[in-house]
Amino acid sequence: MADLFDAFASTGTVLAEHGSPVIELVGARKTYRTGSIEFEALRGIDLRIEQGEYVAIMGPSGSGKSTLMNIIGCLDTLTEGDYRLAGDDIAELDEIDLAQIRNLRIGFVFQQFHLLPALSAWRNVELPLMYRQVPVGERRARAAAALERVGLGDRVANRPGELSGGQQQRVAVARALVGEPDLLLADEPTGNLDSQSTADVLGLLDELHQQGRTIVLITHELEVAQHARRIVWVRDGLIQSDEVIDR
């Protein structure tokens, strides 16, 4: 494991050096068991997402898209199959290893903002860096820069309750970006937003994609998914279609 985490610590270099896809799933299966009852949420998915792609994953309730997101985000593990993140095999890592990978390699944006109400914007954004034991001065500077990047450079001292829903989601995006992850994973990021805030956040994701960020967006809204450059439809635990959107 030491070699794996030494590579992970050098953010931004692994993909460039090895040319590996950010995500590579082969024969991915996930079975949940409750007593004698089994439910196969993923039934053998093959999926490859390259560096710099912007991919939306869609599907109805019970399709397996949430399970797929949990696997991609290292929030759950496969029952069978292989998963490589930035070229490294992580399909059978334990919870401690997965937690380290989530902190080092993946930036999460959820429907619920998950901001701590008592903390200012910059203190919320610096949290991932605290877990990495980044020195105080460096993490404050990086948090401020991340907030500037999402258009909130003048709101660094505001607490979540003093911000609009769209601004809170921008803080969440800044927090996801502050560690310079290989992958930005957004789960229904506009689900709690009004139309203007939705447009603002999707515009921000568009900008991040144009800057070369790899984005995987989980959504049930076609209008939101169409901001991506590729849409993967999931149904009954399988990929039903995988189409590139022409611009």
Residue 217 reports pLDDT greater than 90: yes
Q: Is 131 exposed, middle or buried (0-12, 13-18, 19+ CB in 10 A)?
A: middle
In the chain, the domains with their CATH numbers are 51-77+101-244 (3.40.50.300)
> What gap in Å lies between CA 65 and CA 220, rounded to an integer?
10
Q: What is the pLDDT of residue 247?
A: 66
Under 8 Å between Cβ of 67 and 17: no
Label residues 175-199 b or e (16+ Cβ within 10 Å = b): bbbbbebbbbbbbbbbebbeeebbe
Q: Residue 213 carries which DSSP code?
A: -
Query: For 52-67, what is each residue's pLDDT tens digit?
Result: 999 999 999 889 999 9
Measured distance between the N- and C-terminal CA atoms of the chain, rounded to whole angstroms: 42
Residue 95 neighbours by CB under 8 Å, 6+ apart:
none
> What pTM value is reported for the model?
0.87
Under 8 Å between Cβ of 236 and 63: yes
Average pLDDT, the chain: 89
Query: For 100-148, what is each residue's pLDDT tens digit?
Result: 889 889 999 998 999 999 999 999 999 999 988 999 999 999 999 999 9
SS3 100: helix
Q: What is the pLDDT of residue 232?
A: 97
> What gap in Å lies between CA 56 and CA 75, rounded to an integer?
19
Q: What is the pLDDT of residue 135?
A: 95
Under 8 Å between Cβ of 125 and 143: yes
Per-residue pLDDT band for 195 (boundaries 50, 70, 90) equals very high
Residue 86 reports pLDDT greater than 90: no
Cα separations in angstroms, 130 against 104, 113, 126: 12, 19, 6
> What gap in Å lies between CA 153 and CA 145, rounded to an integer?
8
> What gap in Å lies between CA 8 and CA 127, rounded to an integer?
19
Residue 226 reports pLDDT greater than 90: yes
Q: What is the pLDDT of residue 136?
A: 94
Per-residue pLDDT band for 5 (boundaries 50, 70, 90) equals very low
